[in-house]
Structure 1
Amino acid sequence: MQLLPSSSRAVGVLTLATAAALLAPGAALAATPAPSPTTGTATTTTTSPTSPSAPTTSGTGTASPTTPGTTATGTPSPTGTTTASGTSTAASATSTASTTAPRSSTNATSPKVAATTSAADPQVPFGGGTSPKALLPGGTSAQAGYAAGFIVRTLAARGHHYNYPGGTYFDGGNTIDAVLGLDGAGLGSTEAASAYAYLTANVGGYIGTDYSSLYAGPTGKALLAVVAQGGNPRDVGPTHVDLLAELGKSLGAAEPGRYSDLPVTGCGYSPCDYSNTIGQALDVIGVGRATGAVPQSAADYLLAQQCADGGFRGDLAAAGGACTSDVDATAFAAQAVIGLLGASDPAAVKALSFLAARQAANGGFLNGDGQYNANTAGVAAQAFAAGGRPVELARAQQFLASLQFDCTATAGLRGGIAFTAADRATLTAKPGDTAALDRALRATPQATLGLAGGDLLTVTSDGASTAAPSPTCPTAPATSTSSTSTAPAASPAATTTAAAPAAPAAASATPGSLAFTGADIAATAVLGLLLLLGGIAATVLARRKGAHA
């Protein structure tokens, strides 16, 4: 049967259109760049608790004296404070449950309790000032969601808490970071509540009161967790610890305005007091959020730790003398200063500018060991979030996202955050590396708050979902003698069962989803090319037939 010229032309046009429809999505997918991890330095050493006569440091945080601890029951244990962390992303959240109502960004999560007042030490209002917050993604991000899922899985597998690496001592600081990370992501609320319950049941061991001592930094961190979870800071745990009263005893014990470890002397080893700037900042934030005010002397003492370059020193000292700034201490102190004076205050601006000047091209920060790491980037991201610095925040978030385990890692690691790029490579190749895994367990909770765009001034469990997302990775093609194969699963970025929050403004461009592989487009491209050639041939034939009709 001979086709008329018009029919041949119609067939040609239809064939060309079909070919274009098949080729266009393939071209778009092929043009999508895959994120690549940044290069970091090698490893770090983590000091685990040893004896009552030696201090321990947790990550990049506060050192505190150690005391004997037990395991299974999670009773008394040594602790130090660890750094928090965080980053937000432009990608929308992936959730396995329906979304909750928008969560409040106010500084109050539970009714304020009465502050301890003194005529000699007036109170400074605490609330974050009047400066606008950074333009951040509404709700959580895909990266924060997957990190939250990792936290939920690893906490549940360890009895709803973390221990110090290589030991059986309850690590209260890291567990608090996990609770705050889940609260910031707005996910995993059931596991966050279980971990919080474990913390409160063992709070005396964590802050030292079980041993007639007090660790000032851990006490402030515990206070912050209680406030974020909506608890009563004056009645914590089975022993009804009054965290505010304990900190009140600590204030000024060593020198005016300083929150110190107790006893300051006569503890049986030297020194007795390991309090530092990170702990002072945590105490100021915890007291401020719990009561709405901070003793003037404590605020003044923290401000006295600021160096001429805008950063804050790590070790507490009276005004004057040499002052060497520390990035981690500055990130915590900046948040406290913003809570006291507002983000537009010169002291806050100088601290944030100090951090911005030390942010590398990869978005990360060097710690005292010379490593670009998740902990330092995380706490800096919190400071940028609190201070309304979306550009610096986005860069820190991109660095944190580059350290996240994707589908190239084993299922148990996916969603977690490696301490460094070197650790990420190590665990991807050798998932059983204990030292690198221990560091990831400590880095992920501290990074998650920043991935969610949160900070210590506003983090709250209000409105959090029970969901704990896990990446949905492509499946391997089925082995078959036929020419067809099993189609890969959709990438996690495209798999959602809940309405996703709005993407952030273009000005605060943040990283996308985990770097998972997408669908195979080769077959589609070949079919489209064949149809394209066929369409051209049909069109040419139609023109020839039309000319000789």
Structure 2
Amino acid sequence: MSWLTVRKSGAVAVCGAILVAASPVFSASADAANPYAASAAAAAKWQAGELVDGGIPGFSGADWGLTIDTMMALAATRSQPAALGAAADAVAANIRKYNSAEEWGMPGSRIAGATAKVLFASVVAGREPTAFGGLDMRAETLDLIASADAGDDVGRIRDKLTGSPDSGNAFGQSLAVLGLARSGGVPQTAVDFLIKQQCPSGGFRLFPGQLGSTGATCQDTPTTVLDPDSTGMAVQALLSAAAESGSTGAAAAAKKGADWLKSKQRADGSFGGSGPTEASNTNSTGLAGQALHAAGYSTEADKAAAWVAKHQITADNAGAATKDVGTIAYNEDALTSARAEGIPDFQRDQWRRATPQALLVLADVPLGDLGKAPTEPTGTATSSPVPTGSHTPAPSGSATHTGSESPSASTSATPTTSLGQTASASITASATNTTRAGTSGSASGGGSTSGGGGTANGGGGSLARTGAEIGGMVLLAVGLVGTGFAVRAGARRKNGKHT
């Protein structure tokens, strides 16, 4: 997980977090060669059980970034098709609550990371990207990519908001590259901008020109902050761009990023994020391990999976948490607390954020293959160059969740987070805590990505933010304009995070 500092515009500081979500996982029956397939399926089952009317509950209403993270996890395991369909229906019915500030009097506004995350969600759910919720999410994402007259920002996916600093970051950019590559092709300029966020050492920065790195292209300096979560997202996005679109330079940059990740893996197999999430955690380990697998580093990916598996609640180690078998703890403190005291309601948000991203490495399927048929080889496009509406709709209902109606509003003054990126969700336990941006990606920008940890939540350790919503953060900032207060928030994603 990574962190993000606040940027101010007048009296308002806007930041979002997105966490990119999970990658495809095979069920135990579908992939006997994967020793963690059953563990991944158990984690997905627990996460599906947390859905309420198709959405994952946030601090106020449904958290759409985290719901998309959940969709990715369910698609990865292919074990909960009804729940996946219900979540897809709910997201499709609430897109504008997630990727815009229209309900707050900003018609035509768009949040870059959240828009890209919705596009990717439509792809992994097997829905038509050009008609998801009655909207053309591919066109909306392309419309946010800066054109040739944007100077250093050419190719960057940017917000369409008045009076707010741009929240676009590496999580959102990666989600855009993934979604576009999987839905008909990604512009080379968008790939080039993502590559510019890679420092010579191989790691990726979360934000352009911030966190110790200035200039249009990332440079290694004593103050540059390189982020394992952002790097894991970027590696997988670039691999997909190379396979689906033949993008120039993508494969080489992906390998360089994977080599950097390999050098940062700890002896026990774990990864930490950057800033306040630097300690080993399952969110960062799940995403980084998934990227290593995608890049062909199976030995290292297996070590990461083994570490994550040790933090899963099972029938044998549950202790007081017997009702929550399958879920994955953010860290050792959270696991110890759950075994001793169970998981009380006020701590469930942390587990809902940790589980989807952590299970990615257990699923053993790259983001670029998420939603493809089990026999479909890596790099095979799931849609024609021009989407034709031939995607097979995912199941739309489930025995326990209605999911087709719109859950309660996700945009409120109370921040929520998710693996994607909307303004609302990437804040951790409080406005002063840092979380990661994703597009849901890492806060503020981008697309959904892994959640950033916050302060301890009860006895459960750092609060995992896997997919903060940028949209929510923007709305929070807008709501505070009248009072003259500046919102202070840090950023995951990745879900960030949570693009």
Same fold (TM over 0.5): yes
Largest Rg, 1 or 2 = 1
2:203 alignment partner, one of 303, 308, 311: 311
SS in 1 for 2:369: coil
**For residues 246 and 302 of structure 1, what CA distance do their matches in structure 2 show?**
19
Q: Which runs of 5+ in 2 are unaligned?
A: 210-215, 244-248, 375-393, 400-499
Indicate how the Cα distance of structure 1 residues 87 and 298 shifts in structure 2: closer, same or farther if over 3 A, else same: closer
Question: In the alignment, residue 228 of structure 2 is paired with which amino acid?
Answer: V
Indicate how the Cα distance of structure 1 residues 161 and 358 shifts in structure 2: closer, same or farther if over 3 A, else same: same
**For residues 182 and 207 of structure 2, what CA distance do their matches in structure 1 show?**
24
SS in 2 for 1:257: coil
Indicate how the Cα distance of structure 1 residues 220 and 300 shifts in structure 2: closer, same or farther if over 3 A, else same: same
| Residue 397 (structure 1) aligns with | 305
1:292-341 residue CA offsets vs partner (Å, 9 max, x unmatched): x2111111111111101101111024126555321111000011121233
**For residues 14 and 341 of structure 2, what CA distance do their matches in structure 1 show?**
32
Indicate how the Cα distance of structure 1 residues 137 and 173 shifts in structure 2: closer, same or farther if over 3 A, else same: farther
Q: Is residue 386 from structure 1 mapped to residue 294 from structure 2 by the alignment?
A: yes
Aligned 8 A contact 1:226 1:232 in 2: yes
**For residues 149 and 458 of structure 1, what CA distance do their matches in structure 2 show?**
21
| Residue 335 (structure 2) aligns with | 424
- Determine what percentage of the aligned residue pairs are the same residue: 30
1:61-90 residue CA offsets vs partner (Å, 9 max, x unmatched): xx2xxxxxxxxxxxxxxxx4213346989x
**For residues 323 and 56 of structure 2, what CA distance do their matches in structure 1 show?**
16
Offset at residue 249 of structure 1 (A) = 2.0
Offset at residue 216 of structure 1 (A) = 1.1
| Residue 8 (structure 1) aligns with | none
**For residues 109 and 268 of structure 2, what CA distance do their matches in structure 1 show?**
42
Aligned 8 A contact 2:76 2:371 in 1: yes
| Residue 21 (structure 2) aligns with | 84
**For residues 286 and 331 of structure 1, what CA distance do their matches in structure 2 show?**
16
SS in 1 for 2:171: helix
Question: In the alignment, residue 276 of structure 1 is paired with which amino acid?
Answer: N
1:159 alignment partner, one of 49, 53, 56: 53
Aligned 8 A contact 1:85 1:381 in 2: no
1:222 alignment partner, one of 118, 122, 126: 118
| Residue 333 (structure 1) aligns with | 234
2:225 alignment partner, one of 299, 302, 324: 324
| Residue 236 (structure 1) aligns with | 132
Indicate how the Cα distance of structure 1 residues 208 and 377 shifts in structure 2: closer, same or farther if over 3 A, else same: same
Aligned 8 A contact 1:365 1:377 in 2: yes
**For residues 218 and 362 of structure 2, what CA distance do their matches in structure 1 show?**
37
Question: In the alignment, residue 423 of structure 1 is paired with which amino acid?
Answer: A
1:501-527 residue CA offsets vs partner (Å, 9 max, x unmatched): xxxxxxxxxxxxxxxxxxxxxxxxxxx
**For residues 296 and 261 of structure 2, what CA distance do their matches in structure 1 show?**
13
| Residue 364 (structure 1) aligns with | 270
Indicate how the Cα distance of structure 1 residues 372 and 140 shifts in structure 2: closer, same or farther if over 3 A, else same: closer
Aligned 8 A contact 2:22 2:76 in 1: no
Q: Is residue 259 from structure 1 mapped to residue 167 from structure 2 by the alignment?
A: no
TM-score, scaled to structure 1:
0.58
Q: Which runs of 5+ in 1 are unaligned?
A: 1-43, 57-62, 64-79, 94-98, 104-135, 469-549
Offset at residue 459 of structure 1 (A) = 0.8
| Residue 177 (structure 1) aligns with | 69
Indicate how the Cα distance of structure 1 residues 151 and 141 shifts in structure 2: closer, same or farther if over 3 A, else same: same
1:290 alignment partner, one of 151, 161, 183: 183
1:150-205 residue CA offsets vs partner (Å, 9 max, x unmatched): 012111xx2221132xx214211211111111111110110111011111110111
Q: Is residue 279 from structure 1 mapped to residue 180 from structure 2 by the alignment?
A: no
| Residue 421 (structure 2) aligns with | none
1:321-371 residue CA offsets vs partner (Å, 9 max, x unmatched): 555321111000011121233699432221111111111122111122222
| Residue 314 (structure 2) aligns with | 406
| Residue 448 (structure 1) aligns with | 359
| Residue 428 (structure 2) aligns with | none
1:432-490 residue CA offsets vs partner (Å, 9 max, x unmatched): 4445422111111112232111121001174799999xxxxxxxxxxxxxxxxxxxxxx
1:255-305 residue CA offsets vs partner (Å, 9 max, x unmatched): 211101112xx33xx42x1110111011011001011x2111111111111
Aligned 8 A contact 1:88 1:140 in 2: no
Question: In the alignment, residue 356 of structure 2 is paired with which amino acid?
Answer: P
Offset at residue 399 of structure 1 (A) = 1.2
Corresponding pairs, count: 346
SS in 1 for 2:186: strand
RMSD: 3.2
| Residue 387 (structure 2) aligns with | none
Aligned 8 A contact 2:25 2:77 in 1: no
SS in 2 for 1:411: helix
SS in 2 for 1:383: helix
| Residue 355 (structure 1) aligns with | 261
